[in-house]
Amino acid sequence: MRRCLLLAAGLALAAGVVRAQPSEPTRGAELLAPFKRDLQAALGQGLAQGTVEAIRTCQLRAPAIAQARSVDGVRLGRASHRLRNPANAAPEWVAPILDAYVADPSDRAPRTVSLPERRSGYVEPILLQPACLTCHGETLAPDVAARIEQLYPEDRAVGFRVGDLRGVFWVEFPTER
């Protein structure tokens, strides 16, 4: 099954449905920067009240931040191959790039893609940092595990190690042409 998904993703890329290529910092990276900064600030505020509260902060604030930053034809968010929140499923154009990151851990370069209707997309990986282990690691404190189970009964976003691919940041925006 996995080989079929990878083959389909590869064929989509080859057919030009999505043209992914490594990219240097672009408009996409610039558009993601404030989103990432706001997420980090919200997480810091939540962590200041304790790890269990930080989980609730992520649940409520992350979608609001993404919505607030999705203006003027820009749409952005996070996605993962192991979701905590089903609402963060990858958009169709992001899925093959996420699959490629999962398939080849040696290639974590950001990608820029051309999308229909004079739009572009940009995707960059999220690699697990040591602080992320508290909520996404292999072993969780009982109160943390209980809060995650309460808020996300279908959670698949645990069992990670430092450096693992946690997911991706993505942004879709009008092409300036």
Torsion of CA 96, 99, 105, 110, to 10 degrees: 30
Domain boundaries, the chain: 2-174
- CA pair distance 124, 101, nearest whole angstrom: 10
Tens-digit pLDDT string for the chain (177 aa): 333 333 333 323 333 334 444 444 589 999 999 999 999 999 999 999 999 988 988 899 999 999 999 999 999 999 999 999 999 999 999 999 999 999 999 999 999 999 999 999 999 999 999 989 999 999 999 999 999 999 999 999 999 999 999 999 999 999 875
Q: Is the pTM of this model over 0.95?
A: no
